[in-house]
Amino acid sequence: MNRVLVANRGEIALRIIRACHEEGLEAVAVYSEADRLSPHVRAADFAVPIGPSSPSESYLRIDRLVDAARSSGADGIHPGYGFLAERAAFAEAVEHAGLVFVGPPSGAIRAMGDKTEARRRMEQAGLPIVPGLTVPVSDPVVARQAAEAIGYPVLVKASAGGGGKGMRTVREPAALENALVLAASEAMKAFGDPGVYLEKYIERPRHVEIQVLADRERTIHLGERECSIQRRHQKLLEEAPSLAVSPKLRVQMGLAAVAAAEAVGYRSAGTCEFLLTADGSFYFLEMNTRIQVEHPVTELVYGVDLVREQLRIARGLPMGVPNLMLQPRGWAVECRITSEDTTNGFLPATGRISYLRTPAGPGVRWDGGFEAGNEVTLFYDSLLGKIITWGRDRTEALARMRRALGELVVVGIPTNQPFHLRLLEDAAFLRGEIDVQFLERRTDLLAPHARDGQLADIAVAAALAEDEARRARKPLIGAAAAGASAGGWLQAARREGLR
């Protein structure tokens, strides 16, 4: 593999292109009409237009992506996340075209994509799965008996699901039949598959996931990420390690995740999602067969470049991670910066980024995909970039995040930056008292503060006031003080208007 087509956009496309260059590979960008001026297009060695702005006519078109690889001489394709990353049919099409798919085998994607099949295979592999069914159920009588055996509350989930779509909580027998019908119809609409099954509903769990990496010889894990801070199944902040995971629990969950990957013949980077309860029990939920948005927190605490490892493994090389008991070092936190309006219920916002200052300095990483002048549209998700900070401990990583959030300036569109600043001052969050329902309880953190939308107004008012004050001031230049006695710096300062 010498030239990799990056079948994605935004920050992850840029992230992958950087990894290609570090691995001595050329990178081919693809872009829709909306992304012609995006940074990922210029960062690549070649760029191929693949169609109109709508994803269904560009980034989701398997035929156009494979054609773009052929026409640009690429011999591999990296799918990134989202779009086609977890479509087994895409991995197959890439393989059939004689190209390298930078990701897992299509069989592993398919096995994990069907949630009841994944549950069967994980149970077989000895993983703890949430108590419940491992086959779809449609008959309400059968469902009723199953729910009694599981014990209420139960959760109706879509077999083809994931990410929370088509999920319904049922707290009593009388509500079951209706939930089955509604979940099935939602699943049909969202996935084209009406299959649903039942699980025991776990109250107030944490969402903890384990990063795995597999080459032809070894499957290893790189510890956990704590992902409980999310709103409507969209993660907002992630950290590694998790306050809730002891070294002993890390070994147990790590062994489970490695067994899961091995059971489906996994290669490349992947993630096992678990629900973790307050008493330290954990249950396998699903496996994400892609690189994830939040991968950088793992990179910072394990010192591993996961995207470069994906590229090495795809080339048939062994992973560059030493064969030792790895341990996390320090703490890392990621804040996802989205173009969402905190003063308007997190409504996705559009517009042109007129100015952008990104954070930097010790322990700070910015993974972004936009620059000043770019247009933010509703064609794609609202992620603008990610701030990732590292510290020797959680307190230092969080302090650096507050500092970095203070440095970030986005002008032209609203972002969720005010939410992150509030969260990072919250006593319960700072104590680590979090679970997946944290933000449902703490709507005060989601609600806007009066100043959220007013910063730009305040800046304009301050500039106008300053201008007026300057005009009113007597000009010093030409006064007796100016002349032979004034040094060069003073004259220069006057020219610059600094006074």
Instruction: Based on the residue annotation, tell me whether 290 is a catalytic residue of this protein.
Output: yes
Contact between 257 and 210 under an 8 Å Cβ cutoff? The reply is: yes
Place of tokens 């100015």: 355
* Piece in contact with ligand MV4 (CB under 6 A), picked from 93-101, 194-202, 345-353, 444-452: 194-202
* Piece in contact with ligand MV4 (CB under 6 A), picked from 119-127, 155-163, 294-302, 373-381: 155-163
Under the phi-then-psi rule, with left for phi > 0, alpha for psi from -120 to 50, and beta for the rest, what region is 10? left
> Using alpha carbons only, what angle is made at residue 387 by residues 164 and 298, rounded to the nearest 5 degrees?
70
367 binds ligand MV4 (CB under 6 A): no
Provide, rounded to whole angstroms, the least separation between the CB of residue 283 and ligand MV4: 7
Provide, rounded to whole angstroms, the least separation between the CB of residue 367 and ligand MV4: 22
Query: Residues 119, 168, 290, 336: which is the catalytic one?
Result: 290
Written as six digits, the tokens of 451 are 């100043």
Q: Give CA–CA dist 319/342, Å, rounded.
A: 42
230 binds ligand MV4 (CB under 6 A): yes
Place of tokens 């933000």: 439
* Piece in contact with ligand MV4 (CB under 6 A), picked from 158-166, 246-254, 289-297, 316-324: 158-166
202 binds ligand MV4 (CB under 6 A): yes
183 binds ligand MV4 (CB under 6 A): no
The DSSP H or E segment spanning 314 is: helix 306-314
Residues 6+ apart with CB under 8 A from 129: 119, 122, 123, 283, 284
Task: Identify the DSSP state of 154.
Answer: E
Which CB atom, from 100 or from 158, has the smaller least distance to ligand MV4?
A: 158
| Calculated CA dihedral for residues 131, 137, 138, 140, nearest 10 degrees | -40
Q: Which residues pair with 26 in a beta bridge?
A: 3
Place of tokens 């007026």: 468
* Piece in contact with ligand MV4 (CB under 6 A), picked from 161-169, 209-217, 404-412, 418-426: 161-169
> What Cα–Cα distance (Å) separates residue 9 from each residue in 27, 29, 45, 65, 93?
13, 8, 15, 13, 20
Q: Give CA–CA dist 90/241, Å, rounded.
A: 33
Among 26, 199, 224, 294, binds ligand MV4 (CB under 6 A): 199
282 binds ligand MV4 (CB under 6 A): no
163 binds ligand MV4 (CB under 6 A): yes
Q: Give CA–CA dist 41/64, Å, rounded.
A: 17
Of residues 115-134, those binding ligand MV4 (CB under 6 A): 130
Contact between 423 and 229 under an 8 Å Cβ cutoff? The reply is: yes
Which CB atom, from 209 or from 452, has the smaller least distance to ligand MV4?
A: 209
* Piece in contact with ligand MV4 (CB under 6 A), picked from 59-67, 93-101, 196-204, 330-338: 196-204
151 binds ligand MV4 (CB under 6 A): no
200 binds ligand MV4 (CB under 6 A): yes
406 binds ligand MV4 (CB under 6 A): no
Taking the alpha carbons at both ends of the chain, their separation in whole angstroms is: 60
Spell 411-430 as b/e; 16+ CB within 10 A means b: ebbbbbbbbbbbbbeeeebe
Residues 6+ apart with CB under 8 A from 218: 318, 319, 323
Binding mask 422-451 for ligand MV4 (x = CB under 6 A): --------------x---------------
Q: Give CA–CA dist 484/489, Å, rounded.
A: 13
Which CB atom, from 207 or from 225, has the smaller least distance to ligand MV4?
A: 207
Task: Identify the DSSP state of 317.
Answer: P
Residues contacting ligand MV4: total by CB under 6 A: 17
108 binds ligand MV4 (CB under 6 A): no
Which CB atom, from 285 or from 387, has the smaller least distance to ligand MV4?
A: 285
From the number of C-beta atoms within 10 Å of its C-beta (0-12, 13-18, 19+), residue 494 rates as middle
Provide, rounded to whole angstroms, the least separation between the CB of residue 272 and ligand MV4: 12
* Piece in contact with ligand MV4 (CB under 6 A), picked from 199-207, 318-326, 345-353, 356-364: 199-207
162 binds ligand MV4 (CB under 6 A): yes
Provide, rounded to whole angstroms, the least separation between the CB of residue 226 and ligand MV4: 11
Which amino acid belongs to residue 400? R
Provide, rounded to whole angstroms, the least separation between the CB of residue 383 and ligand MV4: 17
Among 64, 119, 207, 225, binds ligand MV4 (CB under 6 A): 207
Which CB atom, from 314 or from 335, has the smaller least distance to ligand MV4?
A: 335
Give the 3-state secondary structure of residue 492.
Answer: helix
164 binds ligand MV4 (CB under 6 A): yes
Written as six digits, the tokens of 233 are 């199944």
Provide, rounded to whole angstroms, the least separation between the CB of residue 347 and ligand MV4: 21
Which CB atom, from 206 or from 422, has the smaller least distance to ligand MV4?
A: 206
Contact residues: ligand MV4, CB under 6 A: 130, 155, 162-164, 199-202, 205, 207, 230, 233, 275, 285-286, 436
**Which residues are tagged catalytic?**
290
